[in-house]
Amino acid sequence: MTPDQLSSAIAACLRDAVAAGDFEVDVPSEVRVERPKSREHGDWATNIALQLGKKAGLPPRRFAELLADRLAGIPGVESVDIAGPGFLNIRLDAAAAGELARTIVEAGEAYGTNEALAGHVVNMEFVSANPTGPLHIGHTRWAALGDSIARVLKASGAEVTREYYINDAGNQMNIFALSVYNRLHGLPVPDGGYPGEYIRELGDQVLRAHPGIRELTLEAAIPVIRQLAYEAQLKDIKATLADFGVEFDVYYSELELHSTGAVEDAVDRLREQGHVDDVDGAVWLRTTDFGDDKDRVLIRANGEPTYFAADAAYYLSKKDRGFEEKIYLLGADHHGYVNRLKALAAAAGDDPERNIEVLIGQLMSVNGAKLSKRAGNIIELRDLIQWLGADALRYSLGRYPADSPMTIDPELLKRNTNDNPVFYVQYAHARSRAASVNAEEKGVRRSVFDASLLGHETENELLSHLGRFPSVVAQAASFREPHRVARHLELVAGAYHRWYSSCRVAPLATEPVEDVNRTRLWLNDATSQVLANGLGLLGVSAPEKM
RNA sequence: GCCCUCGUAGCUCAGGGGAUAGAGCGUCCGCCUCCGGAGCGGAAGGUCGAAGGUUCGAAUCCUUUCGAGGGCACCA
């Protein structure tokens, strides 16, 4: 029995009790069952009596007493105890608990998916690094986290589009092009320009694509260089993201917003909504109507649109493309944007509480990371991947919530012991695969499944962690916190190791294969499946061997 | 000055109203005659930054306060 099944069975009991006149209360749509911290408190516990007792006009303990007998009648429930102020502690019989192992094996990769966010149409924008240089440490955390959030959202039934906004418009593109131009002509880096060896590499690529580029005048060369160098740099960014296991569905060009007139349209549309003012020759969006601390300029007095105007057009594009929920992942250094983005959504006629969500993450650092000379003394993502491995990096970034600053310790990540959580979890997976192979070599097959044979204490613990996996995924999705998945995998891995050390899958050489071995193979394989599914959500591989 | 985030074990951190606040590391003590010891079992370690409040119950929610980090462009 899965916790979800238990939870709906309890809700049914509540409805029965109300129908029988035991008490008068509105039955909530969802009854939460929790894993008690102490094993003495049973397999599952619910505080429903504490929540509803008052509403029913009964002391919680009395409410619990009225419910307990009905709960005890649920098939698969062995016993129900009332504890403390009115907790209901539920113990399942071994067969009901063990049935889960078969459920998981049969569900395979689908185990853990759920419908918590079914019907949600989500646009997730993250990374969006300027195409003027390689990805660096500042983009790393959001690449990992954004991708994992997208994965848990999808696993929970949401329709998700991962989107990368390319800032290919502003003046930085001209400076970028000029930096390459100067490099091609052996001139120094321009004021505010981009240093670093990669500019020379880009110059080489531009030269290959356009051998006569050096002969062109500055005015003629810049647009050509800008385009070629931009394409080469974007390709490089995509390649690095691919190495990191991150794929975007849409790369959205800021330049297109300008060239197609979308920016002007956006200003007009906002004006129609009645939130635009003309002051001192500039066009302003009255974001203070919606909680921003000052109004924002859309079109400067010189007629040039601001970056914010493009943001507005981009937001409207997302809205027009049918995205109900627009999630932005920004670094803490951009948190000043939150209010104006929300105000923008409101000015566009959206509900800032529902249609837009801005996730702010704190910055990260890596102890002892080498600065990249080729990129101008920044720490490149490409180098981090090569140094630490994509798996270790993805997992480390995935196991912390976004809102606390973090420091990565490379010495730890390179260690193959269980203070390195990625190894701990991957090891458990590899070990379970090895155990499975070994068992099959000894003649153990999943030909028999008798859940009542899974009665060992460690099996009970392991099963309960496996059973909670789908709700952990659902929670990770609704809180946008994939680290919950990582933490849960660590619990599963720990429970697996404990089980492994007290219950053999394959029999000893001197003993015959019995049903208990066959049944345990199901549990073993169910564990592999959960670990693999969970690691997949984090973008981390689940190795067969290490 | 205003705004946002964070203060939990020696360290790195979980904990989104519930029972005796958890995990890993580090420290100490144990466990390999057969499926991966890259593991497992146990011990020690806490005024949850502080003070009020909300209620049956607060690390969790609210207010104040102290400390750390970040942000407040007609830049992109």
A59 CA vs B52 C1’ separation (Å): 30
**Residue A63 located in a structural domain:** yes
Do A238 and A252 sit in the same domain of this protein?
no
Q: Is the four-CA dihedral A264, A330, A487, A3 of positive or negative sign?
A: negative
Last residue of a domain, one of A210, A243, A276: A243
Do A267 and A191 sit in the same domain of this protein?
no
CATH code, domain with A340: 3.40.50.620
Do A278 and A157 sit in the same domain of this protein?
yes
pLDDT (0 to 100) of residue A497: 92
Distance CA A134, CA A115 (A): 38
Do A230 and A289 sit in the same domain of this protein?
no
Last residue of a domain, one of A227, A243, A259: A243
| C1'-nearest nucleotide to the CA of A338 | B4
| C1'-nearest nucleotide to the CA of A484 | B14
pLDDT (0 to 100) of residue A97: 87
Nearest residue to B5 via alpha carbon and C1': A403
End-to-end alpha-carbon separation of chain A, Å? 33
For A25, the token pair is: 């209360």
- Say how many C-beta atoms besides its own lie within 10 A of residue A57's C-beta: 11
Nearest residue to B36 via alpha carbon and C1': A431
Nearest residue to B72 via alpha carbon and C1': A336
Q: Is the four-CA dihedral A404, A408, A414, A418 of positive or negative sign?
A: negative
A313 CA vs B64 C1’ separation (Å): 42
| C1'-nearest nucleotide to the CA of A362 | B5
**Residue A406 located in a structural domain:** no
A317 CA vs B71 C1’ separation (Å): 27
**Residue A15 located in a structural domain:** yes
Last residue of a domain, one of A218, A243, A268: A243
Nearest residue to B13 via alpha carbon and C1': A400
Name residue, tokens 């997976």.
Answer: A429
DSSP bridge partners of A45: A34, A89
Compute the C-alpha angle A62/A66/A71, nearest 5°.
130
Distance CA A521, CA A183 (A): 63
**Residue A496 located in a structural domain:** yes
- Say how many C-beta atoms besides its own lie within 10 A of residue A365's C-beta: 11
Q: Kindly state the DSSP code that residue A352 receives in the 8-state scheme.
A: T
Q: Which residues contact A185 (CB under 8 A, 6 or more apart)?
A: A214
The conformational region for residue A349 under phi > 0 = left, psi -120 to 50 = alpha, else beta, is left
Cβ burial of A207 (10 Å; 0-12, 13-18, 19+) is middle
Note down the domain range covering A66: 3-92
Residue A335 corresponds to which amino acid?
H
Distance CA A461, CA A51 (A): 27
A37 CA vs B46 C1’ separation (Å): 18
| C1'-nearest nucleotide to the CA of A483 | B14
A40 CA vs B28 C1’ separation (Å): 28
A503 CA vs B10 C1’ separation (Å): 36
A501 CA vs B40 C1’ separation (Å): 6
**Residue A369 located in a structural domain:** no
The set of strand B positions with any atom below 7 Å of a protein CB reads 2-7, 12-16, 18-26, 34-41, 56, 69-76
What string of pLDDT tens digits covers the 546 residues of chain A?
777 888 888 888 888 888 888 888 877 766 778 877 776 777 888 888 888 887 787 888 888 888 888 999 999 898 898 887 788 888 888 888 899 999 999 999 999 999 989 999 999 999 999 999 999 888 888 999 999 999 999 999 999 999 999 999 988 999 999 999 999 999 999 988 998 899 999 999 999 999 999 999 999 999 999 999 999 999 999 999 999 999 999 999 999 999 999 999 999 999 999 999 999 999 999 999 888 888 999 999 999 999 999 999 999 999 999 999 999 998 888 888 888 999 999 999 999 888 999 888 887 777 777 878 788 778 899 998 998 889 988 998 889 888 777 777 787 777 777 667 888 899 999 999 999 999 999 999 999 999 999 988 899 889 989 998 998 999 999 889 999 999 999 999 999 999 999 999 999 988 999 999 999 999 999 999 999 999 999 999 999 988
For A446, the token pair is: 């999943």
The conformational region for residue A161 under phi > 0 = left, psi -120 to 50 = alpha, else beta, is beta
Do A423 and A444 sit in the same domain of this protein?
yes
Do A286 and A149 sit in the same domain of this protein?
yes
Q: Which residues contact A75 (CB under 8 A, 6 or more apart)?
A: A96
Do A212 and A280 sit in the same domain of this protein?
no
A510 alpha-carbon distance from chain centroid: 48
Q: A125 with A326: CB under 8 angstroms?
A: yes
Residue A157 corresponds to which amino acid?
G
pLDDT (0 to 100) of residue A52: 83
| C1'-nearest nucleotide to the CA of A279 | B74
* Sheet of A121-125, strand order: A250-253, A159-166, A121-125, A325-331, A356-361
A276 CA vs B62 C1’ separation (Å): 36
* Sheet of A276-279, strand order: A276-279, A282-285, A296-299
**Residue A73 located in a structural domain:** yes
| C1'-nearest nucleotide to the CA of A34 | B18
Count Cβ neighbours within 10 Å for each residue of A218-227 and write b for 16 or more, e otherwise: eeebbebbbb
Q: At what angle do helices A421-441 and A515-537 cross, to 10 degrees?
A: 150
Q: A18 with A27: CB under 8 angstroms?
A: yes
DSSP bridge partners of A279: A282
Name residue, tokens 């009648």.
Answer: A73
Distance CA A217, CA A445 (A): 75
A82 CA vs B56 C1’ separation (Å): 16
Do A283 and A189 sit in the same domain of this protein?
no
Predicted complex ipTM: 0.92
A275 CA vs B9 C1’ separation (Å): 53
| C1'-nearest nucleotide to the CA of A337 | B71
Do A67 and A212 sit in the same domain of this protein?
no
The conformational region for residue A312 under phi > 0 = left, psi -120 to 50 = alpha, else beta, is alpha
**Residue A405 located in a structural domain:** no
Q: Of A179, A202, A206, A180, whose CA–CA distance to A192 is shortest?
A: A179
Name residue, tokens 């999705």.
Answer: A477
Q: What is the DSSP string of A174-198?
A: HHHHHHHHHHHTTPPPPTT---SHH
Do A149 and A288 sit in the same domain of this protein?
yes
Domain count within chain A: 4
pLDDT (0 to 100) of residue A29: 66
| C1'-nearest nucleotide to the CA of A296 | B74
Residue spans of alpha helices (H) in A39-161:
48-53, 60-72, 94-107, 137-155
Q: Of A543, A542, A544, A534, whose CA–CA distance to A148 is shortest?
A: A534
Q: Which residues contact A177 (CB under 8 A, 6 or more apart)?
A: A222, A223, A225, A226, A229
Do A48 and A81 sit in the same domain of this protein?
yes
Do A151 and A49 sit in the same domain of this protein?
no
Residue A356 has phi, psi (to 5 degrees) of: -135, 145
**Residue A40 located in a structural domain:** yes
Q: A267 with A299: CB under 8 angstroms?
A: yes
- Provide the CB-side half-sphere exposure for A505 (13 A, CA): 28
CATH code, domain with A497: 1.10.730.10
Residue A233 corresponds to which amino acid?
Q
